[in-house]
Amino acid sequence: MIRIIDYGVGNLFSLRSSLRAIGIDADYTGNPAEIRKADKLILPGVGAFRDAREALRSTGLDRVVQEEAGKGKPLMGICLGMQMLFDRSYEYGEYEGLGLIPGEIVPMEGRIPKDLPIPHIGWNELMLKQPSPLMKNTANGDYVYFVHSYYAETPAEYVIATTDYGVEMTAAVQKDNVSGCQFHPEKSSEVGLSILKAFCEL
């Protein structure tokens, strides 16, 4: 049983629709008991890091996510959900993340060429860095869909894919049972569906 964590800031409908397109019946829930019963968890997210982190904290779901991941349950973060897996973010201040993967979320501004627009919106190719079950159906050079202004800086051992947007940026990560995609697999056509399918098969 797969559950999408509902804490008020995720793109829930399109994610659930994508999972159903590959034959996975995954509902969303903010109920801690339902989250604990799930075999696998997906943490979505859109918007500002501070607001999303506060939404998790105010409901107590931050502790639930940390505890379930600590038990070895597969957890996948998507876009802002991936960013919250890290130690901290510097989006309009400094905010603590869930601390499940070492690293920080930093702004593109000042790090990418000035002629590139921020946010980074659109299709970019993946550069696979190391084998990962999450990318077992994905080829080097496959295109996926991004919408973001910040990205993760994390040790190379956790980076399973990057993308080039003036600089090489983290696109997907994995540390043991915790994984994440900066891009939106639910908006990335067949490539994205193949990544969701790979997660569901963990």
Segment 31-80, tens digit of pLDDT: 999 999 999 999 998 889 999 999 999 999 999 999 999 999 999 999 99
pTM of this prediction? 0.96
Query: What is the band of 4 on the pLDDT scale with cuts at 50, 70, 90?
Result: very high
Is 200 assigned a catalytic role? no
Of the residues 148, 181, 184, 200, only one is catalytic, namely: 184
Residue 151 pLDDT? 98
Nearest 10 degrees: CA dihedral of 168, 121, 17, 79? Answer: 50
Of the residues 68, 79, 148, 181, only one is catalytic, namely: 79
Of the residues 68, 120, 181, 186, only one is catalytic, namely: 186
What CATH number should be reported for the domain holding residue 128? 3.40.50.880
Give the residue numbers spanning the domain of 25.
2-200
Whose CA is closest to 107, among 195, 24, 67, 48?
A: 48
Is 148 assigned a catalytic role? no
* Percent of the chain whose pLDDT exceeds 70: 100
Is 186 assigned a catalytic role? yes
Mean pLDDT of the chain: 96
- Region of poorest pLDDT, from 1-10, 137-146, 192-201: 1-10
Highest mean pLDDT among 24-33, 42-51, 113-122 belongs to: 113-122
Residue 9 pLDDT? 80
Judged against a pLDDT cut of 80, whether residue 11 lies above it is answered with no
Count the domains in the chain.
1
Q: Which residues contact 3 (CB under 8 A, 6 or more apart)?
A: 26, 27, 28, 29, 34, 35, 37, 38, 40, 41, 42
Mean pLDDT of the region 131-151: 97
Mean pLDDT of the region 171-186: 98
